[in-house]
Amino acid sequence: MPLHEEVSALMRAVAADVVLPRYRTLAAGEVMTKSAGEVVTVVDREAELRLHDGLAALGLGARILGEEAAEADPALLDDVGKGLVWLIDPLDGTANFASGRGPFGMMIALVDNGSPVAGWMLDPLTDRLCHAARGMGARCNGMLVRARATGSARPRAALGTHFLTADRRARVHARADQHLDVVPVPRCAAESYPRLVFGQDDVALFQRILPWDHAAGALFVTEAGGKATHWDGTPWRVGGPGIGVLAAASPWQWEVAAQVLLHPAAGLIEADRLAA
Q: Is pLDDT at 185 greater than 60 in this prediction? A: yes
Question: At 18, which CATH number?
Answer: 3.30.540.10
CA distance 276 to 274: 5
Examine residue 175 and state whether it is found in any structural domain, yes or no. yes
What number is the average pLDDT over the span 178-207? 97
Residue from 19, 3, 97, 93 nearest 54 by CA = 3
Number of domains composing the chain = 2
CB 107 within 8 A of CB 190: yes
Sign of CA dihedral 251, 253, 259, 262: negative
Q: What is the pLDDT of residue 175?
A: 94
- Please, which pLDDT band fits residue 270 given cuts at 50, 70 and 90? low
Q: What is the pLDDT of residues 66-116, one digit of tens each?
A: 999 999 999 999 999 999 999 999 999 999 999 999 999 999 999 999 999
182 lies in the same domain as 124: no
Q: What is the pLDDT of residue 271?
A: 38
- Please, which pLDDT band fits residue 28 given cuts at 50, 70 and 90? confident
Q: What is the pLDDT of residue 163?
A: 85
Q: What is the pLDDT of residue 257?
A: 96
CA distance 55 to 141: 20
Q: What is the pLDDT of residue 26?
A: 95
91 lies in the same domain as 167: no
Q: What is the pLDDT of residue 267?
A: 83
Kindly report the pTM of this predicted structure.
0.94
Residue from 23, 4, 36, 268 nearest 136 by CA = 4
- What residue type is assigned to position 231 of the chain? W
Higher pLDDT, 64 or 266: 64
CB 239 within 8 A of CB 193: no
Examine residue 151 and state whether it is found in any structural domain, yes or no. no
Q: Is pLDDT at 124 greater than 50 in this prediction? A: yes
Examine residue 62 and state whether it is found in any structural domain, yes or no. yes
Q: What is the pLDDT of residue 40?
A: 94
- Round the average pLDDT of the chain to a whole number and report it: 94
14 lies in the same domain as 129: yes
Q: Is pLDDT at 216 greater than 90 in this prediction? A: yes
Sheet strands (E) in 124-155: 128-133, 138-140, 143-145
Examine residue 150 and state whether it is found in any structural domain, yes or no. no
Q: Is pLDDT at 272 greater than 60 in this prediction? A: no
Q: Is pLDDT at 274 greater than 80 in this prediction? A: no
Residue from 109, 1, 16, 106 nearest 55 by CA = 109
Task: Characterize the bridge pairing of strands 227-229 and 245-248.
Answer: antiparallel
Residue 179: how many CA atoms within 13 Å on its side-chain side? Answer: 18
Q: What is the pLDDT of residue 273?
A: 45
170 lies in the same domain as 214: yes
94 lies in the same domain as 10: yes
CA distance 262 to 258: 5
- Please, which pLDDT band fits residue 265 given cuts at 50, 70 and 90? confident
Q: What is the pLDDT of residue 36?
A: 67
Percentage of the chain exceeding pLDDT 90:
88
Q: What is the pLDDT of residue 266?
A: 87
Range of the domain at 65: 3-145
Residue partners of 124: CB distance under 8 A and separation at least 6: 15, 16, 19, 20, 23, 104, 105, 106
CA distance 87 to 16: 20
Q: What is the pLDDT of residues 239-263, one digit of tens each?
A: 988 899 999 999 999 999 999 999 8
Q: What is the pLDDT of residues 154-175, one digit of tens each?
A: 999 999 998 888 998 999 999 9
